[in-house]
Amino acid sequence: MHAAALAEISRGDPRFADWRYHAFDVEPERLPEALALLASRQFRGVNLTVPHKIQAVGLVAEIDPAARQAGAVNTLLLEGGRWRGFNTDGYGLSAGISGDLGVSIEGTPVVLLGAGGAARAAAVECLRRGCSGLWIVNRSRANLESLLGLLAPLAGKIPVHGIGPGFKAGDTPRGALVINATSAGLRESDPEPVDLRGLTGVRAVFDMIYNPPQTRLLATARALGLKGANGLGMLVHQGAKSLEIWSGVPAARTAPVMKAAAAKALGS
């Protein structure tokens, strides 16, 4: 995805001709060592995935306000020999939902499934974008309460509700955008994270999972005649925003190239 974008922008700008994107496997306990080594080798930037996103917050010199609110960073930029931390997941989520579903988070009630790291960034973005209300559904009450505590200072006048398992249709709003931020759906044997038939008047469904391209949740959404989209758009847009942070090239310019390369790699 990044290689395709770099190849494209280097055609018109020789500054990027020798830029390369590499993948490294780093054990969590060696992340501080790895970041120090990458800085010493003058890497321009770094993407982080789980479980490094939260750990890295305490390892960077400066954190972007949006990333601080989310309590996680997925993009680092080296400036003056020190790492600055950003989080592009929220941008990727809203851009993916807007582009693939034609739905704006602003003014829309959101039912968010999950309370882990992915859900944390999604919840913060929904509040920042001005959703009309946020309903968080999670099996673990402890994780749910932790997320609700994090969101309380950010919510302002936006109502935020925590819902445990076994909830009823009346516990969620009509016309909601349902966002799956759990890992349920990665395997064919996984149960659906929620029974869409038990929700009232769902507007659309966005599943952060992009491989497989159609989870059971999205298959049910299609059977019910609902708009549905997987997480490929989110993956692409968060990556394009990361590249913008490193290069200054607008994400809107590289996103189409990245999406084509990602879709080709996934065989979809």
Structural domain tally of the chain? Answer: 2
- Give residue 169's pLDDT: 61
Distances (CA, A) of 67 to 14, 63, 79: 31, 6, 17
Domain containing residue 74:
2-87+233-266
Residue 127: the pLDDT is 97
How does pLDDT run along the chain (268 residues), one tens digit per residue? 999 999 999 999 999 999 999 999 999 999 999 999 999 999 999 999 888 998 999 999 999 998 888 888 999 999 999 999 999 999 999 999 999 999 999 999 999 999 987 888 899 999 999 999 999 999 888 889 999 999 999 999 999 999 987 666 677 889 999 999 999 999 988 989 998 988 888 999 999 999 999 999 999 999 999 999 999 999 999 999 999 999 999 999 999 999 999 999 988 5
State pTM to two decimals.
0.91
* 95, 57: one domain: no
Q: What is the pLDDT of residue 137?
A: 94
CATH code of residue 54? 3.40.50.10860
Q: Which residues are catalytic?
A: 53
Q: What are 56's two structure tokens? A: 């890295």
The candidate with the shortest Cα–Cα distance to 242, out of 19, 16, 76, 15, is 76
How many DSSP H helices and E strands does the chain contain?
A: 10, 10
Region for 36 from its dihedrals, namely left if φ exceeds 0, alpha if ψ lies in -120 to 50, beta otherwise = alpha
Does one domain contain both 171 and 103?
yes
Could you tell me the CATH number of the domain that includes residue 97?
3.40.50.720
pLDDT of residue 168: 65
